[in-house]
Chain A
């Protein structure tokens, strides 16, 4: 996986240092996204919100996205929206005691701007983004687990790994088994993880995540944490099924 991320860095679209009023991605949906998901609050487009994604999605069911917000202080919440998806909101991330970095995979129904908005303590949203082209259809297909019927055997199972980064901090990657059905495939009800919290081994809350339908089946999430090596995960899906796991080395 690591070489893929390195490759993606080279396709970085966001130029550094811009802070402008109009959407650099020219999204026809931007004002709707602003009203609906940022509640119409003040914002600026800001190159400090770095978003990485492939220019063309090879697999519309698994589009790797990652963001980093390193040059802004006190990030309260980060919202990811795929403007042209039938269900635009992808996730909300509230880092409490970890870096505002996140890697994940999502479903794209068609080529779309991916906006990432990070709210600082002064209430201002800083918005970055990239455009990803996609052949489409990612949101209206049944998940593999649902189509095969296997999802009941693995529902809510968590696998995880922790790596040491060059600066001594850790990267945590988790995968939670879940069909993440969007409700847009005929006859298959909406079924997705709603929230997932990352805690330290002492129970300290490190980050809160709200996940929505566009997150890929069996969500894979990468976090840049501080020095911790052991974690707890707690979450729930929209049917009330609980997710609970401990990550130990």
Chain B
């Protein structure tokens, strides 16, 4: 052997021992890191920028004065022929940016250079059954792991440094219609997840696993009559069998937890929204159909339900109820603070609940037209239905009477997360104005087949716009400002202590607004529709903003007349990263 070789070998050995002693210590994400995420602006280690889901950053270098100097730092193309909707929220930790992409892919880049470090392409079977595009909404960081769920209903934990699979667990059978697109959250060492598949007659559930190993700890079904588990043993039935469901329909009752959930440490409570009851045709299932189209407050330690609130009892419009429940302090005029939660439902109402007990505090429209209910009764907490606007029952062979309903089933607001700014005390809600013709059809359950029993066509309500970013005051239930958008809004919102609100548009822009007035201050064209969730963090004394770009999601697939109007929007797949330079050029 030549002496040069020996020298190289010694160098290599010393490099390895250095890496072993320093790297793992820095990399591990702890429960404390996650608990503090909302107040530590040097990283983003959870979906929602803190598990309460406020999507508020205390950073203020970037503000209404300086946002004009925000410039692109780098962009990562996801490549491949696979594009479709990019709905993810990126995460930032230990000098790396982690982002999930369509078709259950994960990309990790160097946060300084944008250079890709690794990519994981999950192998998907041909027979996956996602209802609403092949999206993924993000991952969770814990220890040295990046954990995300896949379109074939698996939960995968990757090594943050290498992208290699550390553990993988099957959550459900994709052939029965289960899939998964939501970002998991990690609460005190447990990774908490829901399931998708409400259009296929699955049964929704929330699951907690050991985040380091993937081992199941507890499972809580979201349809009454189904048994929960804790440590492999029965842990009580959800609700009371047949109390609000007739016959056997609860066995395929839906209530999918397809958008994941939030967590509030002050009350040690998980808040998981549930989807529509199955099938859509409500005449087949008289009753409230608990716990569909609801929010469930769940104890993260054992999976027991603390309380529930049903946004749309006996849902007949696919209003779902999965939209995020965001914990916040509701400041009263007398100075008292109520531990509250805000929720903008698909059904068009913005709800404020007491998050300690689920009592309704207020419910006000955040869209201009609501046909299915005249209002929400604050005493009973129940909707005042307009029975003429429920689609009619079908006969054995004929479809039922069609009604025009607003909002459409794509909702006054869909999955895209809103943001809450504790400085302005306002929620920023990405909302849409649209209605639908909807009618019921005869249907029976068949494993793995769509289980709707309804037909529909979505229509815009206005000539000039569908989308409207709206600032809602949770104290008054009034819209303080709105910024209209021609195409439907489908991206998440971010707000900051710099008095800014960020969100994207299908037309390709990432935009920044004045949080108090709604004035548009900055925009950047990313080349494809922005339906992802923006984040911000500080790095080397500079403030960064990142957002995925890539048009897709449910609108082009289900949007009826609206889909035609957005047909010209091009698909894409990239991660855009911006920064405010220390010295503006």
Please report A residues at the B interface, Cβ cutoff 8 Å.
39-40, 42, 149, 151-152, 181, 183, 186-187, 189-191, 236, 238-241
Contacts and interface: CB of A to CB of B under 8 A. Distances in A.
A240 B165 contact: yes
Contacts of A241: 168
Given A152-B125, A240-B156, 16 more contacts: A39-B9, A149-B127, A151-B125, A152-B127, A186-B81, A187-B82, A189-B121, A189-B122, A189-B123, A236-B165, A238-B164, A238-B165, A239-B168, A240-B165, A240-B166, A241-B168
Given A239-B165, A240-B165, A191 B8 contact: no
A149 B168 contact: no
B80 interface: yes
B1 A152 contact: no
Nearest to A240: B168
29 contacts: A40-B5, A40-B9, A149-B125, A149-B126, A149-B127, A151-B125, A152-B126, A181-B123, A183-B121, A186-B81, A187-B81, A187-B82, A189-B121, A189-B122, A189-B123, A190-B121, A191-B123, A236-B165, A238-B164, A238-B165, A239-B122, A239-B123, A239-B165, A239-B168, A240-B156, A240-B166, A240-B167, A240-B168, A241-B168
A39 B1 CA distance: 13
A42 B81 CA distance: 45
Nearest to B156: A240
B155 to A, nearest CB: 10
A186 to B, nearest CB: 8
Contacts of A191: 123
A131 B77 CA distance: 40
A240 B127 CA distance: 19
A39 B8 CA distance: 11
Q: Which residue of A151, A152, A241 has the most chain B CB atoms within 10 A of its CB atom?
A: A152
A236 B166 CA distance: 11
B159 to A, nearest CB: 11
A144 B168 CA distance: 25
Contacts, number: 37
Interface in B147-161: 156
A191 B5 CA distance: 35
A238 B120 CA distance: 10
A40 B121 CA distance: 32
What are the 4 tightest A-B residue pairs by CB atom distance, in nearest-first order?
A: A240-B168, A189-B121, A240-B165, A152-B125
B397 to A, nearest CB: 36
B216 to A, nearest CB: 16
A41 B167 CA distance: 33
Given A40-B9, A42-B1, A187-B81, A239 B156 contact: yes
Contacts of B1: 42
B228 to A, nearest CB: 26
Contacts of A183: 121
Contacts of B5: 40
Contacts of A186: 81
Interface in B1-26: 1, 5, 8-9
A163 B458 CA distance: 66
B463 to A, nearest CB: 41
Interface string B73-85: 0000000111000
Nearest to A153: B125
A235 to B, nearest CB: 13
B21 to A, nearest CB: 21
Interface string B384-395: 000000000000
A210 to B, nearest CB: 13
A240 B147 CA distance: 13
A42 B82 CA distance: 45
Contacts of A181: 123
Contacts of A39: 9
Contacts of A151: 125
Contacts of A240: 156, 165-168
Contacts of A42: 1
A149 B82 CA distance: 18
A149 B127 CA distance: 9
A239 B167 CA distance: 9
Given A42-B1, A152-B126, A239-B123, A187 B165 contact: no
Nearest to A179: B123
Contacts of B167: 240
A182 B122 CA distance: 14
A238 B5 CA distance: 33
A40 B165 contact: no
Contacts of A149: 125-127
Nearest to B105: A189
A233 to B, nearest CB: 19
Contacts of B127: 149, 152
A40 to B, nearest CB: 6
A241 B82 CA distance: 23
A40 B8 CA distance: 9
B124 to A, nearest CB: 9
A236 B165 CA distance: 10
Contacts of B9: 39-40
Interface in B102-130: 121-123, 125-127
Nearest to B82: A187
B496 to A, nearest CB: 37
Interface string B452-463: 000000000000
Q: Which residue of A40, A181, A186 has the most chain B CB atoms within 10 A of its CB atom?
A: A40
Nearest to B152: A152
Contacts of B156: 239-240
Contacts of A40: 5, 8-9
A218 to B, nearest CB: 15
A187 B125 CA distance: 13
